[in-house]
Amino acid sequence: MVIGSDLALQRVLQALYRQRELGADPVGLVPVGRPEELAAARALGVPGAPVAAARAVLTGTARKLDLLVDDGGGVALGGVRISGVGARRPGGRPGGWRSLWAKLAAAEQATALTPERTATGTGPDSAGGSTRTGRTRTGTTGRPERGEPARGEHSARLRVEADGRLLADVHRPVRVVQVTLPSGAAAGEGVMEIVVRAPGALLRARAASISVAGRGFGYEADGRPVGPVRARTWTVHAGCWGLLLPVTQDAD
């Protein structure tokens, strides 16, 4: 049982993974900390009240959840974000999983989108601005989204591959690469959601693994800075750990 913040939970999962004991028994969490330190616990469905959370540990049901694991031995509960070299995280917006991870996995930085995609295209799937290949699905749009880097941020030149499919290459700069694990009903599907933002283009994909390479890039894993590294691969370990949640919630 873990009594503490998102960071405490991440550290426990990190230790269990490295000792090859992850998944042997379900994990219980009684959240203690400031609201911004418990974002992951809320997203996972852990009751916010200590008494209710303790009751879930004693009488709850284990729900199998995914975990992002990188080739450096790090783990991430929520996701990874790579911004352009020298870019700063927009102020005043704590990451959804910000307090989650101490030094977890490593991540990617954005590369270039090849070729530049727009909302129009050709082929049977182009009406919705999307293409599908295997289990990797990509889509594009020209609209700016929340989380778009502010003006003045730099772009990086990286190579990004998802399930072996090239998403970005060094020929074009990329501003942001963001990788997240789905929450809610989509949790536990064994896939990650990927967003690659470049000047004038936005690419989305779902995949089981992602690899990023470059001259040297830093990233945020669950809101914590890591790196710089030259290459990193993240893989989704589907249902590799269990979290004790209230029975009523698990039945919904």
- Residue 40: band (very low, low, confident or very high) from pLDDT cuts 50, 70, 90: confident
| Beta bridge pairs of residue 140 | 203
Average pLDDT, the chain: 75
Q: Are 67 and 192 spatial neighbours (Cβ–Cβ below 8 Å)? A: no
- Looking at residue 186, its pLDDT comes to 62
CA pair distance 58, 181, nearest whole angstrom: 27
Q: 126 or 229: whose pLDDT is higher?
A: 229
CA pair distance 236, 68, nearest whole angstrom: 5
- Please state which of the ranges 141-155, 178-192, 220-234 shows the lowest mean pLDDT: 141-155
- Looking at residue 252, its pLDDT comes to 43
Q: Residue 134 pLDDT > 60, yes or no?
A: no
- Segment 103-121 shows an average pLDDT of 36
- Looking at residue 215, its pLDDT comes to 87
- Residue 87: band (very low, low, confident or very high) from pLDDT cuts 50, 70, 90: very low
- Looking at residue 29, its pLDDT comes to 94
- Segment 125-148 shows an average pLDDT of 42
- Segment 59-64 shows an average pLDDT of 91
- Segment 103-107 shows an average pLDDT of 37
CA pair distance 194, 68, nearest whole angstrom: 13
CA pair distance 100, 67, nearest whole angstrom: 12
- Segment 40-55 shows an average pLDDT of 89
3-state secondary structure the chain: CEEECHHHHHHHHHHHHHCCCCCCCCECEEECCCHHHCHHHHHHCCCCCHHHHHHHHHHCEEEEEEEEEECCCCEECCEEEEECCCCCCCCCCCCCCCCCCCCCCCCCCCCEECCCCCCCCCCCCHHHCEEEECCEEEEECCCCCCCCCCCCCCCECCEEEECCEEEEECCCCECEEEEECCCHHHCCCCCEEEEEEECCEEEEEEECEEEEEEEEEEEEECCEEEEEEEEEEEEEEEEEEEEEECHHHHHC
What pTM did the predictor assign? 0.68
- Segment 8-35 shows an average pLDDT of 91
- Please state which of the ranges 10-19, 82-91, 161-170 shows the lowest mean pLDDT: 82-91
